[in-house]
Amino acid sequence: MGGDFRVDIYGLKRLPFLSRYNFFHEFHHILAWGVIVGLIEGNFASIVVAKTFEGSDLLITVASATPMAMHIVSLVWGAYCVGRRKLKIFTFCTTGTVLALASVAMTPDVSYGGWLFVLQMAAAQFFQTGAVTVRSSLWKSNYPPLVRGQIAARLQVARAVTRLAAVAIIATLFDVDPQSYRWIYPGAAIIGAIGVWCLRHMRVRGEVAELRRLRGGDRVEGALTAHASTQRILSSTHVLTSAIHVLKRDARFRSYCIAQMLAGITNLLVRAVIVVILTQQVLVGMKREYWLNMVLLEILPMLLMLSTMHASARYFDRSGVLRYRAVQMIGWLLAIFFGMCGTLAIGYIDWIGPRALLISVACFSVFSIFRGICLGGGSIAWNLGHLHFANKDDAEVYMGIHVSLTGLRAIFIPMAGMALWNWIGWGVWLVSLASGSLAIYCFRMLELRERDSEPSKAPASGINAVQKPAI
C-alpha cells in the first residue's frame, strides 16, 4: 500500500480490511478529480457562457443541460463494460475527459466561441459519463454493501471539497479577467491528469474470476459477454434491445425509473431558469457577479452537501434507496417553493419596493441550502440506487439504463422549462412542485409494495428476480 497508517488520516481502520487498499488509492484520485467535475458541471458552464461569452437564453439552457444530457450514452458504456476489464475502461474515460478539458485553451473569443465551448464541455462529459458508469461497478466489486454508502459518501465528500475550493478560486479569477479560461481549463486538466495517474495502483476484486466465468461460456441472461464484438456492442439495436429486455422483465426497476423520471423533472425543469433569473435579473450589475452567482449556484450548495453527506449516507444504508428517495424529495419540494418565492419577489419589485431584491436573494439562498442538502445524499443514491435491483452480473446494464434515462430527460426537460418560463413565467415552479409530489407518491408506493411482499421476496433482484407488481 506504500505507507504506514499508524496515523490514520484516511480513516482506513474503520473500513473492512480488504477495502482499504483500493480506498487509499481511489481517495487520491477523487481529490484531483473534484477540480474536473467542478469545471464541467452544468451550472458553472452556463455561468461562463452567460458572462464570458455573453450567450443567449438558448445557449445558456444548452450549456446547463448538455453535460447531464450526455448521460444518455451511458447505456452504451454500460453494455461495453460487461465482460471487460473495468479499470482499463475507467482510465481511458478519465483520460478523455482531461484532454477535452485541455482543448478549451484553443477556444476563440468570437461569436461562435460559446457554442464551441459547449461542445467541448459535452465531449468532456461524454467521457465523464463512461467514468461514472464504470465507477459504480468498481464500488460494487471493491466495497461491501453494508458500508458501501458510507464509503461512497467519504469519496464524494473528498471530491466535493476540492470541487468547492476550485470553484471558489476560479470564480474569483474570472471576476478579475473573464478571458482567463484560456489557461484555467488547461491548468485544471493537468490536475486531472495527476488524478488519472493515481489509478495505476487500484485493483478490482473478483474481476479475474468473473471474466474467466464469462469467457468460459457461463452466460448470464440480459448481459453481454466478453466475446461480443465491438460492432455488436455498439449496435444501437442491440443496446436498445438489452435495455427493453431489462425493463420488461424487472417491473420493480421499471417503476423505480418512472419515479426517478418524475424526480428528475422536478430538478431539471428549473435548472436553466435559475441561471437566467440570477444572471439577468437578481445579480445583474453587481460587483463580482461571477463570485455571487457561484456562491448561490455552487458554493453554498456544496457547503451544505459536505456538512450533511455523512448523515445522509448513514440514513441511506439504514433505510434503503426507496424510503431515502421519498424523504429526499420533500427537501427538493422545499427548495422549489423558496425558488418560486424568490422569483415572485424579483418579478413584483415595483409593487414590493427596494426590499424585493433582498427578499429574492434570501429566498434563493434558502433554495440553495435545501438543494445542497438534497444533493449530498442524492449523489450517493444516484450512484448506488440501481444496485438495489441489479444482481452481480448486470449492474453495469442497470447503471447504463439509469444514467441514460437521466441523459434522455436532460435533453428535453430544461428546454421545456425555459419554454414554460417564457410562456407562464413563475408558473414553471408550480409544474415542478407537481412533478416532485408525484415522485414522492411513486417512491412511497414502491416501498410499500416491496415491504408487503418481503416475506416471499428473493434476496437479490435483477433480470432474473421474482417480479413485483408495477406501480
pLDDT tens for each residue of 60-99:
888 888 877 887 777 677 777 767 788 888 999 999 999 9
Radius of gyration of the chain (CA): 22
Q: How confident is the model at residue 396 (pLDDT cuts 50, 70, 90)?
A: low
- 31-47 mean pLDDT: 87
Centre a 10 Å sphere on the Cβ of residue 58 and count the other Cβ atoms it contains.
11
Q: Check if the beta carbon of residue 452 is closer than 8 Å to that of residue 236.
A: no
pLDDT tens for each residue of 295-323:
888 889 888 888 887 788 888 888 888 99
Average pLDDT value for the chain: 80
pLDDT tens for each residue of 88-132:
889 999 999 999 999 998 888 777 888 999 999 999 989 998 888
d(CA 37, CA 94): 11
Cell of 408: 434522455
pLDDT of residue 336: 96
Q: Check if the beta carbon of residue 313 is closer than 8 Å to that of residue 380.
A: yes
Pick the more confident residue, 129 or 270. 270
Q: How confident is the model at residue 381 (pLDDT cuts 50, 70, 90)?
A: confident
Q: What crossing angle do the helices spanning 181-197 and 145-176 adopt, rounded to 10°?
A: 160
Q: Measured in whole angstroms, how far is the alpha carbon of residue 360 from the centre of its chain?
A: 27
d(CA 310, CA 287): 35
Q: Check if the beta carbon of residue 105 is closer than 8 Å to that of residue 200.
A: no
Q: Check if the beta carbon of residue 168 is closer than 8 Å to that of residue 25.
A: no
- 43-56 mean pLDDT: 83
pLDDT of residue 365: 94
Q: Which CATH number fits domain 12-456: 1.10.1520.10, 1.20.1730.10, 3.30.360.10, 1.20.1250.20?
A: 1.20.1250.20
- 17-33 mean pLDDT: 82
d(CA 457, CA 251): 14
> How far does the chain reach from its first CA to its final CA, in angstroms?
48
Centre a 10 Å sphere on the Cβ of residue 168 and count the other Cβ atoms it contains.
16
pLDDT of residue 2: 47
Q: CA–CA distance from 129 to each of 13, 44, 121, 367 (Å)?
A: 32, 17, 12, 27
d(CA 272, CA 55): 13
Q: How confident is the model at residue 215 (pLDDT cuts 50, 70, 90)?
A: low
Side chain identity at residue 270, one-letter code: V
